[in-house]
Amino acid sequence: MFRSALIKAVDDVFEHLGKPVKYRYQDGSYKTVIAVEKSPENLYSAGDNQVVGQAMEISIKKTDVTPKVGDSILVNDKTFRIFEEPLLDASGLIWKFTAVLV
């Protein structure tokens, strides 16, 4: 009972907050998946200037794809590459990882 309610809640989150993106494997093949994106506004100092970090936190349902370091996410006209090992959240239903703009 609890597990099915949790799965429904995850599906609702992705339905309302997610958007379709292209997931590109290292071999060049693509798959369209629903992702929830979070673009943090990380400011870095470079001398007298500040630079906004070009990284994005991305969540994808476990049933859609198994992400790996080196794979890419195409969001609009931008490509983000997974640079650290993706982790499953506590529910075991959602992959979370950070990807950088390339």
pTM exceeds 0.85, yes or no: no
pLDDT higher than threshold 80 for residue 47: no
Quick one: pLDDT band at residue 39, thresholds 50, 70, 90?
confident
Q: Where are the alpha helices (DSSP H) in the chain?
A: 2-17
**Phi/psi of residue 53, nearest 5 degrees:** -65, 145
Per-residue DSSP letter, 29:
-
Query: DSSP 3-state assignment of 25?
Result: coil
What number is the average pLDDT over the span 16-29? 96
Distance separating alpha carbons of residues 38 and 59, to the nearest angstrom: 9
Residue 87, beta-bridge partner list: 96
* CATH of the structural domain 2-101, one choice from 2.60.40, 3.15.10, 1.10.10, 2.40.10: 2.40.10
Mean pLDDT of the chain: 89
Distance separating alpha carbons of residues 93 and 32, to the nearest angstrom: 18
Percent of the chain surpassing pLDDT 70? 86
What digits encode the pLDDT tens for the residues 51-98? 556 788 999 999 999 999 999 999 888 999 999 999 999 999 999 999
Report the DSSP pairing between strands 72-75 and 55-61: unpaired
